[in-house]
Amino acid sequence: MSEGLFQKLPLPDGGTVRQPVGLYIDGQWIKSREVLETVDPATEEVITKVYLAGTEEVDLAVKAARNAFKNWRKVHGSERGSLLMKLADAAEKHIDTLSAIEAMDSGKPKDSNARGDVEGTIALLRYCAGWADKIYGSVIPTGSEKLAYSKRLPIGVCGQIVPWNYPLNMAGWKIAPALAAGNCIIIKSAETTPLSLLYFAQLVDKVGFPKGVVNIISGLGKVAGSHIASHPGIDKIAFTGSTEIGSTIQKLASSNLKTVTLECGGKSPFIVFEDADIEQAVKWAAVGIVFNSGQICTGNSRIYVQEKVYEKFLEKFKDHVLADYKLGSPFDESTVVGPVVNKVQYDRVLHYINVGKNEGARVVLGNEQNPSKKGYFIHPVIFADCHQGMTIVKDEIFGPVVAVSKFTTEDEVLEKANDSIYGLAAMCFTQNLERAHRVSDELETGMVFINSAENSDIQAPFGGVKMSGIGSELGAPGIETYTHLKTVHLNLSNKL
């Protein structure tokens, strides 16, 4: 064990973990000059300190990745797939530890939330492993004297920056397809939640990925993140986070015209028509805005209910959240809602709650007290009688806060739903399938969920339009985004 690069940490459930705190670069754990504390949001206590990558360490990672890419790009897809399968198996063996670290570092309830995130990461590793030897181009018919064909090749060295709301899961969305396609990566965790990804790096090392293929670092966005985005030795950037930072990333990436994938903010409309199954709509609405403490980019934070069932929906929504969404410690088996991730987010969400009250929204739920004297716990808040001009209807709050409005006609609700700078997801509840498909065509979003919410699938593309991002992750497009097309023209006649 390298001195100072690993720490034996106690877990809130009584276990302990050998936690890496260094930087994983070129198959080695190294230190840097700067460290940062990571804090348990349920207790406000410091968990540990991790080493932060500066520009020098990013340069080392890029150099390692570029050297590794010379050989990794030639490794057969079946071999890459085998390594990804081994990584999935290793993660599965460590699922309890990964779930506990994720719960401690991010505040996710361990059993009802964090474990599912780790399971999703494992499933995606296996899904992408299956793709690794099935990435191909096409033959283009051009006549008898010429053969033209295209090939899908790895882009090269990919810089990846992940958010704090799904620390390991979002990392998996980037790591798995990039490696399956034959790229090398430098991935930076969110500065708030670095621990689960660092632990995962041990598994990468254990299963035998060649040195330099996977480099995992902690670092500040304004230092390491900016340097990754602008680095001339990096060929592609994949970023998940706020729209504001995504815009900055895109500008920095223009330094050498990197390929860019951005998955940014959202303000997803959730439409309930009067013929909807109200009981089911209520359950899905709660999942979509209360789960993960509302820290979900696709969270249905704007709910539009047709006037005939408006009050009925509100009453059932309130009762359901109160009954089924217990707020408490992430390590309590009965907890469904944990704390928000840190003090900054806690203050931000409370600010928006006060703004909603001051702007005249009716508080249906949200005056309950914090059950703990410590921790960044926020009870779910349901605002009613909201209108389009309200701040809580326009801004992405990223907490367990929802703004409910009523509507009369289909045209009216479509206009309201599309009245946003964001276009990530939308939800439509109706038993009229003709209407469901018609409305889904009119909604200006990258994804539409009909009679459901937040049940995306690793086999289906995930991405948005407008200020919600560029490109897609998951599914076949999630693999293709880590490749570039090369077209070959073969003159069969050898004549001009």
**CATH number for the domain whose boundaries are 269-457:** 3.40.309.10
Report the chain's terminal Cα–Cα distance, integer Å: 66
Catalytic residues: 263
Which DSSP helix (H) or strand (E) runs through 261? strand 259-263
pLDDT tens over the chain, length 496 residues: 356 899 999 999 888 999 999 999 999 999 999 999 999 999 999 999 999 999 999 999 999 999 999 999 999 999 999 999 999 999 999 999 999 999 999 999 999 999 999 999 999 999 999 999 999 999 999 988 899 999 999 999 999 999 999 999 999 999 999 999 999 999 999 999 999 999 999 999 999 999 999 999 999 999 999 999 999 999 999 999 999 999 999 999 999 999 999 999 999 999 999 999 999 999 999 999 999 999 999 999 999 999 999 999 999 999 999 999 999 999 999 999 999 999 999 999 999 999 999 999 999 998 666 656 799 999 999 999 999 999 999 999 999 999 999 999 999 999 999 999 999 999 999 999 999 999 999 999 999 999 999 999 999 999 999 999 999 999 999 999 999 999 999 999 888 8
Residue 210 CA to residue 69 CA, distance in Å, equals: 10
Domains 6-264+470-485 and 269-457 alike in fold: no
Instruction: Name the nearest CA neighbour of 299 among 180, 172, 222, 392.
Output: 392
Name, in order, each residue with C-beta under 8 angstroms of 362's C-beta and a sequence gap of 6 or more.
Answer: 383, 384, 385
pTM of the model: 0.96
Domain boundaries, the chain: 6-264+470-485, 269-457
Superfamily covering domain 6-264+470-485: Aldehyde Dehydrogenase; Chain A, domain 1 (3.40.605.10)
Packed helices 278-290 and 310-324: angle between N→C axes, nearest 10 degrees: 50
Name, in order, each residue with C-beta under 8 angstroms of 344's C-beta and a sequence gap of 6 or more.
Answer: none
* Long-range contacts at 454-462 (CB < 8 A, ≥ 24 apart): 454/284, 454/287, 454/288, 454/291, 454/296, 454/298, 454/299, 454/300, 456/298, 458/120, 458/123, 458/124, 458/127, 459/127, 462/173, 462/263
Phi and psi at 173, nearest 5°, equal -60, -25
